[in-house]
Structure 1
Amino acid sequence: MSKTAIQLPQPTTPAVVPKKKPYPFWLGGVAATIAASITHPLDLTKVRLQASGDKRMLESIKKTLRTAGVRGLFDGITGTWMRQMSYSMCRFWAYEESKKLIGATEKGAPAWKLGLAGSMAGGIAGFIGNPGEIVMVRLQGDFAKPPEKRFNYKHCFDALFRMVREEGASSLARGVGPNVFRAILMNASQLASYDFFKAELLKTPYFEDNIACHFTASFAAGTVATTICSPADVLKSRIMNASGPGSSSTMGAIRTAIQSEGPMFMFKGWVPAWMRLQPTTILIFLTLEQLKNLVDFTRSKGHDFV
Structure 2
Amino acid sequence: MADTQQRLGRWYFGGFASAGAACCTHPLDLLKVHRQTQQKERVGLVKMAVRVVKSDGVFGLYNGLSASVLRQLTYSMTRFALYETVKKRLAADGKTMPFYQKILVASVSGATGGFVGTPADMVNVRMQNDIKLPPEQRRNYKHAIDGLYRVFRDEGVMKLFSGASMASSRAIFVTVGQLACYDQIKGILLNTSVFEDNLILHFTCSVMAGTIATFLTQPLDVMKTRMMNAKPGQYSSLLACALDIGKVGPLGFFKGFIPAFVRLGPHTVLTFIFFEQLRQNFGEIKE
What TM-score do the two structures reach when normalised by structure 2? 0.91
Structure 1 segment 15-164 matched on structure 2, within 5 A: 23-53=9-39, 54-99=42-87, 109-164=97-152
Q: Match of 1:284?
A: 271
5+ residue gaps in structure 1?
1-19, 301-306
1:81 is displaced (CA, Å) by 1.0
The amino acid of 1:51's aligned partner reads T
Q: Which protein is richer in helix relative to its size?
A: 2
Query: What are the superposed Cα offsets for residues 103-133 of structure 1, whole Å, 9 maximum, x if unpaired?
Result: 8996763221111111010111111111111
Q: Match of 1:275?
A: 262
Larger radius of gyration: 1
The amino acid of 1:269's aligned partner reads G
Residues 179 and 105 of structure 1, relative CA distance in 2, 3 Å threshold: farther
Query: What are the superposed Cα offsets for residues 236-269 of structure 1, whole Å, 9 maximum, x if unpaired?
Result: 111001121353621111111212x222111111
Query: What are the superposed Cα offsets for residues 121-149 of structure 1, whole Å, 9 maximum, x if unpaired?
Result: 01111111111111111111111223343
User: Do 1:104 and 1:110's aligned partners in 2 also have CA atoms closer than 8 Å?
Assistant: no
Determine the C-alpha separation between the residues in 2 that align with 1:103 and 1:202: 17
Q: Match of 2:175?
A: 187
Q: Match of 1:208?
A: 196
1:228 paired to 2:228: no
Determine the C-alpha separation between the residues in 2 that align with 1:220 and 1:275: 13
Which is further off, 142-151 or 39-48? 142-151
Q: Match of 1:249?
A: 237
Task: Report the secondary structure of 2:197's partner residue.
Answer: coil
5+ residue gaps in structure 2?
1-5
Residues 149 and 158 of structure 1, relative CA distance in 2, 3 Å threshold: same
Task: Report the secondary structure of 1:190's partner residue.
Answer: helix
User: Do 1:102 and 1:113's aligned partners in 2 also have CA atoms closer than 8 Å?
Assistant: no
Q: Over the residues paired in the alignment, what is the CA RMSD in angstroms?
A: 2.2
Give the number of the structure with larger relative contact order, counting CA–CA contacts within 8 Å between residues 6 or more apart.
Answer: 2
Residues 223 and 106 of structure 1, relative CA distance in 2, 3 Å threshold: farther
Determine the C-alpha separation between the residues in 1 that align with 2:135 and 2:92: 50
